[in-house]
Structure 1
């Protein structure tokens, strides 16, 4: 994710030719003036946190939101380029499962009961 985020920000590798619908969608994201940069920063943050092994459960949740949208983008607009999104999502799901104990408080289980 770090690599793709940096590439999206600094364009050190050319983008593949996108199908018409995908190109229109990406162009619309660019025209917002903030969305492409926000996604890139999320990718960079997630990649850096994972490489540094810091706040990994948090990074995986943020990464899954980006990868989830990436899967949908590729499924509907550019299925021929879906490989990295699929592999990234599978790896992310495996890691989320590995850190599943970290997410129990988010699900509301085993929380201390408050007295009224």
Structure 2
């Protein structure tokens, strides 16, 4: 977020329901991406009217501003770069705040291949 890596790693804590994916690294970091495109190469716009595309990010002290943090996407894109990999980027705000942050990342899992 804001050009800094706040979390990276490998985990078995992945999930997929319909066109939504989730990933967590214990209680320290997690995200949910809703509205993931089904076709490789397709891109979906976060926050577009009626799109249902969003990214939620949670974690403990991610930006060194507090113990528990929760961010909700405002704008950006979610792209399926392969059958198993999703990338995302955009802007978000922390729950209860008006300060805007940037985010970007990717997630890859064999679980995402069955979408």
Taking structure 2 as the reference length, what is the TM-score of the superposition? Answer: 0.24
Taking structure 1 as the reference length, what is the TM-score of the superposition? Answer: 0.24
